[in-house]
A and B are shown apart, each in its own frame.
Chain A
Amino acid sequence: MDKLVDDNIFEISLIGTGGGYGESIVIHLGSKEWIVIDSCIDPKTNKSLPLELLRLKGVDIANDVKLIICTHWHDDHIRGISDLLENCINARFCMAKATDTGKFLQLVGLDHYKAKVNATASSTKELANCLKIIEERKIPIKGAEQDKLLYSVSNIEHSTNVFSLSPSDLVIDEFNGEISQLITDYGQTNRKIINNTPNEKSVAIYIAFNNHSVILGSDLELSENKLKGWKCIVDNCSCINSKSSLFKIPHHGSSNAYFKDVWDNLLIGDTLANITPWNRGGKLPTKEMLLKYLSHTKELYVTSPIGINNKPKKRDRDLQKAIYRFNKSLYEVKFDFGVIQCRHNINQKNTNWDIELIGKALKVLQ
C-alpha cells in the first residue's frame, strides 16, 4: 500500500471484514482532505479499522479528516466510530436527520444505560458516545437528507463536492413514528433494540470531482414506494449531474438493494463496482446476483471471498465433541479483512481507475 497520496489523487479505500465485523470507506478528496464513511473493527484488537488505515497512510488525523458519515446505526457500520471521531478532532459528524431529536436522544440514552449495566448489547452505544463528543465540541451535526451538499473542496485545480442522496423526506418523517415503536419495544424485558428498517434510512453518497463522480450505496435498499430508497434517488435527485464510474454496491449485493435503473441511468458501462460480502447465515451476494452484476460490468471486486465457514472456534477436544453433540450448527464468523483501494487522478479526463487489492480482496471473474 502506498503511504503518501498526492494532492491531485482522488482515492477510495473500501474496507471489508467478511460481513460480521463491519465495513467502512476511507476517501481522499484531494488536497489532503479526507472523509470517512462508517466504521468497523478488528475483533481481536477492537481497534477501528478506518482509523488504523488512516494512521498507516500517514494522514494527519487530527487536522485532515474533515467529515465522518454514519450511514445508519447497524452494528456492522458503526463499531469503532466513536474512537474514530475522538481522534479526528476537526471532523464534522454526519448522520440521517431525526426531526424529533428529543425522542431520539431519549431512546439512545435509555439503551445506553442498559448497555452500561450489561443488560443488553447496545445498538446505540457508539452513537451515544459520538453525541457526547459532539456536545463537548459544540459543533452542529450535519443532518443528511436527499440532495444535500455535505462537504466541498474547491481550489484552482479542482472542485470536489460530497452530497447525500438519502434519506428522503418521507423516510425522515416516518422515522419519528418508528422511534416511538422502538421505545415501546425497548421497555420490554431484556431485549436489544432491533431496528427493522434502518436500511431505508441509510445515507447513500454521491461525490463529484471535476468531470467524474462515484456513488456509494451504503445499505440502502429498493422500496415499493417511489418516495423512498433507490427509486426516489433515480427519479428525484437533482445533485447527480454525471454518470458515475465507481459504485459501491449497496447492502452486500443483496437482491433487495438491486435496481436496474441505477445501473442504466446513473452509472457508466463497465463501471468499477465493489462489494463487501456478508458471510453469515444467508450469505451475500448470491451467485445469481453476482451474475446479474457481471452482466453490467466486467470490473467487479469483493473485499473477501464469498462463503461461510462451517466450523466453530477451536476448543479442547472433549469440549468440542460435547458441543457438537448438543448443537451441530455452531460456526465461527471469520474475520476476513480486505481492502479495495481505487485511485483516480482528479485532472485526468478518462474514467480509468488504478486498483490495488489488499488482504483478502479479489476480482470476480465470470
Chain B
Amino acid sequence: MQSTETLDHWVLDHEFSIKNNHKDDNRLIIDYLESQIKLEVNDPYQVSNKTSSVEKKNTETYKVPKLFTEPLPRGMNYMTRSQTWVGYIEEIKNEEFVAKLIDINDLTTYEIAAFDNSDVSKGDEELFKLGATFYWSVTFANFKGQRVKQSLIRFKRSVFIDENDFEEIMLDVDKLSKGLTWD
C-alpha cells in the first residue's frame, strides 16, 4: 500500500497525466508495427518468394505464415534507406532551434544542427522545449513507384514511472542519503 504522501507526489501526478494520454501509446504501437513491416518489406519482391521458418532450440522447425503470398504491386510505398539521429534541444531562438545530434549508427562524435521551429509538427508542439529529446530521420523511400527523399522530426514521449518504480527510486535515494556524509 502506497502512502498518501507518495501518491500525491508531483512526479506521479504528472507522469500519470502523460500516461493517460492513450494517443501516445497507440502511436508507439503503430511505430513498432511500422518498424517491423519496414524490416520485412525492405525488398518486397523477395519476401514473397521466401520460405519463412523459425529454428527452435530443440532444432524442430516450424512453418511461419508468409507475410506476402503474392508479389507486391509496384506502387507500394516503402523505405529503402535511412539515416537517424537522436537529438537534444540545446537552444531555442525566435525562428529556429539548435540541437545536439547523435547518429544512432555511429555513437562516437556528435553533430550540431539548426532547424526551423516550423519543422516541429503540431502534435509535438507541447513537447518542444529546451532539453527535449527528438528523432530526426532522413530517408529514401519508394512512393508509388517514385523515389522520394524525406526528412522527419518526431519528439520522444515521456517515460512512465509507476508507483512501484517510484517507491524503488525513493528507497534507493533514502539508502544513499543515509550512507553519504560530508566534511
Chain A residues in the interface with B (C-beta under 8 A): 20-21, 43-44, 97, 101-102, 105-106, 108-110, 113-114, 117, 119-121, 131-132, 134-135, 138, 140-143, 183-194, 280-281, 312-313, 315, 318-319, 322-323, 325-327, 329-335
Find the A residue at minimum CB distance from B111: A332
Q: Which residues of A contact B129 (CB under 8 A)?
A: 188-189, 191
Tell me the bound Cα distance from A131 to B62 in angstroms: 50
Cross-chain contact of A135 among B83, B110, B130, B180 (Cβ < 8 A): B180
Cross-chain contact of B179 among A138, A184, A189 (Cβ < 8 A): A138
Q: Which residues of A contact B151 (CB under 8 A)?
A: 326-327
Write the nearest CB–CB distance from A21 to chain B, whole angstroms.
8
Cβ-defined contact, B131 with A134, below 8 A: no
Cβ-defined contact, B113 with A109, below 8 A: no
Tell me the bound Cα distance from A114 to B11 in angstroms: 12
Assess A331 versus B10: contact at CB under 8 Å? Given A318-B140, A326-B138. no
Cross-chain contact of B110 among A187, A188, A191, A333 (Cβ < 8 A): A333
Cβ of B3 under 8 Å from chain A: no
Interface string of B151-167 (1 = CB under 8 A from A): 10001111101000100
Find the A residue at minimum CB distance from B91: A281
Cross-chain contact of A191 among B91, B101, B131, B170 (Cβ < 8 A): B131
Write the nearest CB–CB distance from A128 to chain B, whole angstroms.
9
List residues 80-118 of chain B with CB under 8 A from any CB of chain A.
81, 83, 88, 91, 98, 101, 103, 106, 108-115
Q: Which residues of A contact B156 (CB under 8 A)?
A: 119, 190
Find the B residue at minimum CB distance from A42: B108
Tell me the bound Cα distance from A108 to B155 in angstroms: 24
Write the nearest CB–CB distance from A145 to chain B, whole angstroms.
10
Assess A140 versus B181: contact at CB under 8 Å? Given A189-B129, A191-B132, A326-B151. yes
Cβ-defined contact, B112 with A331, below 8 A: yes
Cross-chain contact of A120 among B15, B133, B138, B173 (Cβ < 8 A): B133
Assess A322 versus B182: contact at CB under 8 Å? Given A109-B170, A113-B169, A188-B14. no
Assess A121 versus B130: contact at CB under 8 Å? Given A322-B149, A332-B109. no
Cβ-defined contact, A319 with B113, below 8 A: no
Cβ of B127 under 8 Å from chain A: yes
Assess A110 versus B11: contact at CB under 8 Å? Given A105-B177, A140-B181. yes
Cβ of B5 under 8 Å from chain A: no
Q: Which residues of A contact B127 (CB under 8 A)?
A: 189-190
Cβ-defined contact, A319 with B81, below 8 A: yes
Assess A141 versus B180: contact at CB under 8 Å? Given A113-B169, A192-B131, A319-B83. yes
Cβ-defined contact, B138 with A102, below 8 A: no
CB-defined A-B contacts under 8 Å, sample of 21: A20-B110, A21-B109, A97-B182, A101-B177, A102-B173, A121-B88, A135-B180, A142-B182, A143-B182, A183-B10, A185-B131, A190-B157, A190-B158, A192-B132, A313-B111, A322-B149, A323-B83, A325-B149, A326-B151, A331-B112, A331-B113
Cross-chain contact of B106 among A97, A191, A313, A325 (Cβ < 8 A): A313
Assess A135 versus B176: contact at CB under 8 Å? Given A44-B108, A109-B169. yes
Cβ-defined contact, A43 with B108, below 8 A: yes
Find the B residue at minimum CB distance from A104: B177
Q: Which residues of A contact B112 (CB under 8 A)?
A: 280-281, 329-331, 333
Interface centre among A184, A186, A192, A315 (most CB of B within 10 A): A192
Cβ-defined contact, B88 with A322, below 8 A: no
Cβ-defined contact, A119 with B159, below 8 A: yes
Cβ-defined contact, B176 with A190, below 8 A: no
Q: Which residues of B contact A143 (CB under 8 A)?
A: 182-183
Tell me the bound Cα distance from A333 to B103 in angstroms: 12
Cβ-defined contact, B138 with A322, below 8 A: yes
Cβ of B120 under 8 Å from chain A: no
Assess A191 versus B169: contact at CB under 8 Å? Given A109-B176, A110-B11, A331-B112. no
Tell me the bound Cα distance from A142 to B83 in angstroms: 46
Cβ-defined contact, A322 with B140, below 8 A: yes
Tell me the bound Cα distance from A281 to B181 in angstroms: 40
Q: Which residues of B contact A135 (CB under 8 A)?
A: 175-176, 179-180
Find the B residue at minimum CB distance from A21: B109
Q: Which residues of B contact A280 (CB under 8 A)?
A: 112
Write the nearest CB–CB distance from B15 to chain A, whole angstroms.
8
Cross-chain contact of B115 among A44, A134, A319, A327 (Cβ < 8 A): A327
9 nearest A-B pairs in the assembled complex, by CB-CB distance:
A119-B159, A135-B179, A191-B131, A326-B151, A109-B173, A330-B113, A192-B131, A140-B183, A140-B181
Tell me the bound Cα distance from A142 to B108 in angstroms: 33
Cβ-defined contact, B170 with A313, below 8 A: no
Q: Which residues of B contact A132 (CB under 8 A)?
A: 176
Q: Which residues of B contact A191 (CB under 8 A)?
A: 129-133
Cβ of B40 under 8 Å from chain A: no
Find the B residue at minimum CB distance from A321: B149
Find the A residue at minimum CB distance from B157: A190
Q: Which residues of B contact A312 (CB under 8 A)?
A: 111
